[in-house]
């Protein structure tokens, strides 16, 4: 009887460990994406556009905006605001794609603008994993 209980317990433990793999990979993916957004806020605060662009997928497309438009948008934001704070609210994962819901607070000495993402702009809300690396991918739509 003890042997049967031990085998049963081992099987249950093995099943529990195997079922945690997707949960662990989801947690890891969310952490990686959150880290990228933290890096973007730090690069913004240091006025390092190259650091931000390093996270952009080569096929970036968002509401008709391509990579060079994204670069211009973020240079304009850097000229207008001195600080960016990104608060990640939650991340929807769907395989190798993700949508980040966040509050992005841009501020300067004279003004503050908070974007509720992805609703307000969404330009850094859509991610895609390629070769194990997460990139900002855009919503892949041409319409504004």
Predicted structure pTM score: 0.83
Tell me the per-residue pLDDT of 99-139, one tens digit each, with 9 for 90 and over: 999 999 999 999 999 999 999 999 999 999 999 999 999 99
51 neighbors 129 (Cβ within 8 angstroms) = no
Query: Average pLDDT of the chain?
Result: 91
Angle formed by the axes of helices 67-80 and 2-45, nearest 10°: 70
128 neighbors 137 (Cβ within 8 angstroms) = yes
Structural domains of the chain ordered from first start: 26-136 (3.10.450.50)
Tell me the per-residue pLDDT of 28-46, one tens digit each, with 9 for 90 and over: 999 999 999 999 999 999 9
Cα–Cα distance, 137 to 123 (Å, whole number): 9
């Amino acid at each position: 009887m003890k042997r049967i209980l031990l085998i049963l317990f081992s099987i249950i433990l093995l099943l529990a460990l195997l079922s945690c793999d997707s949960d662990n990979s989801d947690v890891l993916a969310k952490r990686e994406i959150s880290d990228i957004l933290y890096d973007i806020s730090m690069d913004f605060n240091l006025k390092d556009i190259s650091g931000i662009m390093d996270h952009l997928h080569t096929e970036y497309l968002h509401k008709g905006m391509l990579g060079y438009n994204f670069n211009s948008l973020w240079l304009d934001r850097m000229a207008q605001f001195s600080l960016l704070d990104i608060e990640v609210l939650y991340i929807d994962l769907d395989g190798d794609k993700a949508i980040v819901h966040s509050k992005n607070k841009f501020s300067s000495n004279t003004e503050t603008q908070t974007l509720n993402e992805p609703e307000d702009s969404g330009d850094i809300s859509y991610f895609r994993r390629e070769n194990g690396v997460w990139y900002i991918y855009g919503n892949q739509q041409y319409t504004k």
